[in-house]
Amino acid sequence: MSEQDGGQSGPVFTATGTVTVFGSWVGAQEDEGCVGIDAFGDLRPGTQVRVLDTSGNELSRGRLGDGIPGKVVGNSCTWPLTVADIPDGKNQYRLEIGHREQLVKTGEELHNGVDLSFGEQ
Q: Within 13 Å and on the Cβ side, how many CA atoms surround 57?
A: 13
Report the DSSP pairing between strands 114-118 and 68-70. Answer: unpaired
Is the residue at 51 inside a domain? Answer: yes
Identify the band that residue 72 occupies on the pLDDT scale cut at 50, 70 and 90. Answer: low
Residue 7 lies in a domain: yes
Count structural domains, the chain: 1
Closest CA to 33 of 102, 90, 1, 80: 80
* Domain assignment of residue 53, yes or no: yes
Confidence of residue 1 (pLDDT cuts 50, 70, 90): very low
Instruction: Assess contact for 26 and 121: CB atoms under 8 A.
Output: no
Judge whether 73 lies within some domain. Answer: yes
Query: What mean pLDDT do residues 72-96 have?
Result: 90
Confirm whether 39 is domain-assigned: yes
Question: Is 117 within a domain?
Answer: no
pTM for the model: 0.83
Higher pLDDT, 75 or 20: 20
Note whether residue 45 is domain-resident: yes
**HSE-up of 64 (CA within 13 Å, CB side)?**
30
For residue range 17-52, list pLDDT tens digits in order. 999 998 877 877 666 678 888 889 999 999 999 999
In a domain, 120, yes or no: no
Q: 3-class SS at 38?
A: helix
Give residue 30's domain range: 3-15+23-77+86-112
